Structure 1
């Protein structure tokens, strides 16, 4: 049996790479990255999201790569009230939240929004982090 240690990167198929980079940089605070061959991505922590244009797919690729088919959850240490303010200031519609959910490591509180391609983006904060901050 093998075991997997962590996610290294994800690939999103997008309609417009420039627009996707701008969203992930300006709205979610990720860092733009460029790779040889004019490939682009955004990074955060130890992870990368590679952005492939639907019109110029990189092989091998998913069986049905289409913009707007992903559902991703990102964790923040910022209070969700600050995230809400930032989203509103940048005219990003909040689809749902804050709502209670369960993340990979326990209870989270989440906000849902969409990126320019319609991918569902969840921004979550672990509830124990919120409780620790309140106790300080």
Structure 2
């Protein structure tokens, strides 16, 4: 029945800091649509941005900044991602560590966005054949 995730909504306290982080640090594209609505485009998905206290209807029952735990898959090596994140002045909280993703084993690092959402950046681990 369900085939994939199209978009989700992130609630932020500070729109400018939020957009800057996802564009500069995670290399997502900022798009503006509708009546000055903002979103972050990446791959075939997007994250719609709502400002705390000014959310659009309908909305989640309790939309609050910092409540998300998001995992993004990267096409780059984690070493390259780590180098980029550190060059942007960001702190890596943990990793690389092995975890389980939707399609198998992943290697992950963790950091926080400006609203303190937990951001996991992962790469699938290739199975070695012997």
Smaller-chain TM-score bracket: over 0.9
1:112 and 2:110 correspond: yes
C-alpha distance in 2 between matches for 1:105 and 1:28: 22
Structure 2 unaligned spans of 5+: none
Structure 1 unaligned spans of 5+: 132-136
Q: Which has the higher helix share?
A: 1
* Counterpart position of 2:25: 27
C-alpha distance in 2 between matches for 1:67 and 1:36: 23
* Counterpart position of 1:47: 45
Residues 1-136 of structure 1 mapped to structure 2, 5 A cutoff: 3-128=1-126
Structure 2 length normalisation: TM-score? Answer: 0.95
Taking only aligned residues, the RMSD between alpha carbons, in angstroms, comes to 1.1
Q: Give the deviation of 1:55 after TM superposition.
A: 2.5
Q: Give the deviation of 1:115 after TM superposition.
A: 0.4
Moved over 3 A (4+): none
Q: Give the deviation of 1:36 after TM superposition.
A: 1.3
